[in-house]
Each structure stands twice: as C-alpha cells, then as structure tokens.
Structure 1
C-alpha cells in the first residue's frame, strides 16, 4: 500500500521546487536594469527581481504567505538590500564580495519579509536572523558552482537557489507549519444540516 508523503514533506518539497522562481526573477531583473554595476541598476533590478521572487514564493507557500504583504515587502527589501550590498562591495564579484553582498541584502530583505509575516507567527524574527546567512550561502554556492557571476546578476543562480529553498523551507515550516484544510476525519461522519 502506497501512502502519500506526510504533509510536511509535501509542503517542503513544493517550497524547494520554488527555487525555479530565482532564475525567472533574475532574468526579469536583468532585462529591466541590466548588469548590477551602478546604484540605479542595483535598486531597480533588485525591486523587479524581488517582486517576481516574492510572487513565486507566494505560489509555493500553500497559502501561508499573504501576497498583499509578501510581494511588496520582498520587492522593497530586495531592492534596498541589493543597493546596500552591491554599493558596499563596489559591484565586485569575487567570492568574498558576493558573500558580503548576500549578507547585506539578506540583512535588509529578512526584516522586510518578517514584517510581512503575521504578527502571530511563532518566532517570526528567526526569519530575519536567518536570511543574511542564507543569502550569503546562496551566493557562495553559486560562485563555487562555477556560474559566471562576473555578469553581475541581481540574484544568485540555481545552485544557490536550491540551497536557499531547501534550508529556508525547513525554517518556514517551523515558523508557519502547514495545516491542511479542516474537514471531517475518516472516522467522523458528515452531519447533514437543513437549509
């Protein structure tokens, strides 16, 4: 008898598959602003990249993220974070530059997204604390994977995106566990009501 995977595993796998939003977001950002080689490109490219990424994350969140707050927060946080990170490293693309840029981007993006989470979210500030580390890790894995980071992308590539998605999915489950729609259990009969 084949049992479906537990709700946690299905939810985590869906969130992890959402790594595909990263390259799509990066393409959108680069088409809009070009290479991240000046402040305007960093800000504009970051905002567009963040908006697309935020929309992708909402789609794979199984209704745990509110698009009305998550998408704008991700766009603004990514734009300001990339501006801060890219200008701080003077638009450099060495491993150290990109790790620092990722840390700074995550330091702005994390609190922005955290504020978009419900105030009732269990330990929601853990998201803000984790994002600088996860964003730096994303850029590090991408750089070590041989991706042509010298093209000054707005966001890291698929290797980093998978790493980020898998690890952040564990954290998201801790903060916002997925709860299936409440309905009668197999042992509870449906009670008919008269209209």
Structure 2
C-alpha cells in the first residue's frame, strides 16, 4: 500500500540550515572592505556597514526556512548594519582594543537588533523584542571571540571574523526557532508500506 506524507522540516534541521548563514558575515565584511577599506571614518562605516548588511540580510533570509520575508528582512539588515556600525565605530573613536570592539559590537547590535525586530512578523507582538534585546550582547560577544582568537582586528574590519560569526549565528538560530516555529513543508513525499495479504 502506498500513502502520501507531508514531511516537516525539523527544528534541528532548520537550526543547522540557519547556522550556515554565518558565512554571510565574513563574506559581507570582505565585500564591504574591498570597497571602503578600513573602517576609520563615518563614510567608510556607513558604506561598509550597508554593503555587509545587504549580504548578511540576504544570507539570513535564504537560510531561514521561509520564516523571514526577504523584502523586509534584507532592507532592515541593510539599514541596521549601516547605522549601527556608524554609531558603534564613532563611539569608540575607531579604536580596536578588546573593550572598544566589544562596545562597538554592543552599539551595532542595538541598532541592528531593533531594525530586524521590526522586520519580524507583527503577530509575534512583544516577543519580537526578545530578538532586539539579545542582539547587543551577541554582537559584543562576536567581537570578543574574534579578538581573543588573535585575529588582526587592528585592520578595522566591518564585521567580526568567522570564529565569532559561527557562535553568534548558532545562538540566534536557537532564538529564531523559539520565536518562529518551523512551518511544514508543502512538498509531499511518497512512503511505501507493506501489508499482509491473506489468501
């Protein structure tokens, strides 16, 4: 006997897929750096943050298992990264010590988190602000991990490195799973089962 089943993307599979979007952070940072160079003035911070935000937003939307709307998430990440990096970098005078980068990350995450929270589905209500509340700490953590990993942060990068990106993305994936459960897949599969035939 043949029956048709509609499979579900499991939370673990959705989390693993989301975690692959960590690649968008160093890629976005690299792309922005190729155009702006070091983040050592307001124009480079605004422009570099915007370029990185565009790539990060696209990567996250693609890896979100259809839970984030690209038409709102990408612009929010674009604007949040641009304004957030400009604020954070200026606040620390474009310095790259561990305390300075951690504070820059906190301020960047504050603006980015607010922008992305507004791009989450409205039916989440106040729960959207969980995302906004956690992003400052996570971006501060990302810069801390990258600095402790002995990455050459004195080159004034746009985004923390892959070591911090993996950790931050893994944690945000858990938060996203909590806020937005994985929707069922619409693609049916065919399962075969056998039954005894009595003659």
Same fold (TM over 0.5): yes
Alignment counterpart, residue 96 of structure 2, candidates 86, 93, 98: 93
Structure with more relative contact order (C-alpha pairs < 8 Å, separation 6 or more) = 2
After TM superposition, give the deviation of residue 18 of structure 1 in Å. Answer: 1.2
2:29/2:52 contact within 8 Å kept: yes
Cα distance change, pair 5–92 in 1 and its aligned pair in 2 (3 A): farther
2:104 pairs with 1:104: no
Q: 2:20 aligns with which of 11, 17, 42?
A: 17
SS in 2 for 1:124: helix
Matches of residues 60-75 of structure 1 in structure 2 within 5 Å? 60-75=63-78
Dislocated runs of 4+, deviation >6 Å: 183-187
The answer for the alignment partner of 1:138 in structure 2 is 142
TM-score by length of 2: 0.88
| Distance (Å, rounded) in 1 between the aligned partners of 2:9 and 2:48 | 38
Greater C-alpha radius of gyration: 2
- Asked if the contact 2:19–2:173 (Cα under 8 Å) also holds between the matched residues in 1, the reply is yes
SS class of match (2:95): coil
Match of 1:177? 181
**Cα distance change on mapping 1:6 and 1:67 into 2, 3 Å:** closer
The separation in 2 between residues aligned to 1:84 and 1:77, in whole angstroms, is: 10
- In structure 1, distance between residues paired with 2:82 and 2:153: 19
* Separation (CA, whole Å) in 1 of partners of 2:59 and 2:9: 23
The Cα shift of 1:23 comes to 1.1
Task: Output the CA distance in 1 between the equivalents of 2:174 and 2:75.
Answer: 23
Q: 5+ unaligned residues in a row in structure 1: which ranges?
A: 188-195
Counterparts of 1:108-187 in structure 2, within 5 Å, are 108-121=111-124, 123-181=127-185
* Structure 2, unpaired ranges of 5+: 1-6, 192-199
Using structure 1 for the length normalisation, give the TM-score: 0.89
- 1:190 counterpart residue number: none
Q: CA deviation at 1:181?
A: 2.3
Aligned to 2:57: 54
